[in-house]
Amino acid sequence: MSASAVFVLDLKGKVLICRNYKGDVDMAEIDHFLPLLMTQEEEGLTCPIMSHGNVHFLWIKHTNLYLVATTNKNSNASLVYAFLYKVVEVFTEYFTELEEESIQDNFVVVYELLDELMDFGFPQTTDSKILQEYITQEGTKLEVAKTKVPTTVTNAVSWRSEGIKYKKNEVFIDVIESINLLVNANGSVMSSDIVGTVKLKTMLSGMPELRLGLNDRALFALTGRDKGKTVTMEDVKFHQCVRLSRFESDRTISFIPPDGESELMSYRINTHVKPLIWIESVIEKFSHSRVEIMVKAKGQFKKQSVANNVEVRVPVPSDADSPKFKTSTGHAKYVPEKNLAVWTIKSFPGGKEFLMRASFGLPSVENDEMEGKPPITVNFEIPYFTVSGIQVRYMKIIEKSGYQALPWVRYITQSGDYQLRSNF
């Protein structure tokens, strides 16, 4: 079972707009939501699901709004939350910013959207591109739109319209991998994994069938091939366009793509990752007058690759002042509101080492309070490179008219949660 009703409230608990889908929950029950939430916040026990009698409130907060779904059944909570976040996504697509003012300025469109997004408590059409075909923001068009519902709503391929035409047929594939890494103060890697996404930008005419081939270890094992480097992907999640039964039977990623930009799949690779940018740091305190920090950054990736927009964020004492910096490349600045020294290197070639020295004044009176030791964090992006070695082996594009299409592939590795603890 899913939701009985959906409410959009302001921060004071006032209902801005609501939609009753099943009529089995008294709409006045929403008056109990905010008192329950305030009670939990006072006790420091905020919970995403709250109950009053036999009515359950499942809620999320976005900017200055609460989105609340009510139910009196044993509903599928994960489905309801996925729906609420999808509502936020669709409203943001329509109004750019989702906040109280945008709801008040677009009551008619919001109500139309709530009507189409869910039917009798179950999610229905949740693709914003399809909704935009027949729910427009101009009031005059709303009347016209009602007379003709796009075929995509009743079609098996609900994420793509028919009759799409392009002069030049192309598909762009971005393989983006984020590295999550934690290194302890002794230089040992405590935890590491890779989170990847495959994003598409399709500009293809008609209703093409696409088949994507990756160097997936499970696929190579099925087919008896074991040539070259393969990767083991875990927690694989696909866009709704992918035929899951086909993937489960023979690991083929077969789909009719949405038009324009979309995220085809995401995955995780649980592996030991060698830190791509290694950081060594030394701190020296001189009585109670000043502190000096030396940070060395080394690129531990291929020499032909270059990391762009590298940012090394080094924590400094909260009572530090009078910053002085000296860098072998890039530039450094002090961010006092975050107690950080930020060293920025626009272009960092593989195999190179760079140095930053920072000097800060300290007050003569020592701070008695013990400060925590936040880690050094690094942000970076390395184009044309994947740390896992994942590769797009092929992209087949089949369309009944038989046109030729060009697939383009780009690889990017970037920092995720990339932390190195220090002895500061």
* pLDDT tens-digit series, residues 16-38: 999 999 999 999 999 999 999 99
Q: Which two tokens stand for residue 332?
A: 């450094």
Same domain, 117 and 225: no
pLDDT of residue 45 exceeding 90, the answer is no
Please, which pLDDT band fits residue 424 given cuts at 50, 70 and 90? Answer: low
Same domain, 97 and 181: no
Q: Which CATH number is 260's domain given?
A: 2.60.40.1170
Q: Which residues of 163-189 are buried (b: 16+ CB within 10 A; e: fewer)?
A: eeeeeebebebbbbbbbbbebeeeeee
pLDDT bucket at 314, cuts 50 / 70 / 90: very high
First to last CA, the chain: 53
Q: Are 391 and 198 in contact, with CB atoms under 8 Å apart?
A: no
| Interacting residues of 20 by C-beta distance below 8 A, sequence separation 6+ | 4, 5, 27
- Most confident by average pLDDT, 242-256, 338-352, 367-381: 338-352
Provide mean pLDDT across the span 203-226.
83
Query: pLDDT value at position 44?
Result: 83
- What type of residue is 390? I
**What pLDDT does residue 200 have?**
96
Chain-centroid distance, C-alpha 51: 30
What's the pLDDT score for residue 30? 95
Q: Which residues contact 225 (CB under 8 A, 6 or more apart)?
A: none
248 and 395, same domain (yes or no): yes
266-307 pLDDT, tens digit each: 999 988 889 999 999 998 887 778 889 999 999 999 999 999
| CATH number, position 42 | 3.30.450.60
| Winning range, highest mean pLDDT, from 44-53, 201-210, 285-294, 356-365 | 201-210
**pLDDT tops 60 at residue 254:** yes
Residue 92 lies in a domain: yes
pLDDT of 370 reads: 54
pLDDT digit string, tens, across residues 121-164: 889 888 887 888 888 765 333 333 444 455 555 556 778 888 89
- Asked if 123 and 261 sit in the same domain, the reply is no
Q: Which domain holds residue 309?
A: 277-383
Q: Has residue 338 been placed in a domain?
A: yes
Answer whether residue 217 is part of any domain: yes
**pLDDT cut 70: percent of the chain above it:** 91
Cα torsion 343, 348, 353, 358 to 10°: value is -10
Taking only Cα atoms into account, the Rg of the chain, rounded to an integer number of angstroms, comes to 27
Stated pTM of the model: 0.73
pLDDT category of residue 364 using cuts at 50, 70 and 90: low
Lowest mean pLDDT among 150-154, 307-311, 378-382: 150-154
- Residue 242 main-chain phi, psi, to 5 deg: -75, 135
The reply to whether 101 falls in a domain is yes
- 176 falls within a domain: yes
Same domain flag for 28 and 126: yes
Question: Could you tell me if 247 and 374 lie in one domain?
Answer: no
177 and 322 part of one domain: no
In the prediction, which pLDDT does 366 show? 63
When divided into structural domains, the chain yields a total of: 3
Residues 348 and 239 both lie in one domain: no
Residue 313, token pair as written in the block: 């964020």
Average pLDDT over residues 300-321: 92
Is 138 contained in some domain? no
- Give yes or no: residues 356 and 394 share one domain: no
Segment 255-276 shows an average pLDDT of 93
Inside any domain, residue 151: no
The pLDDT of residue 145: 40
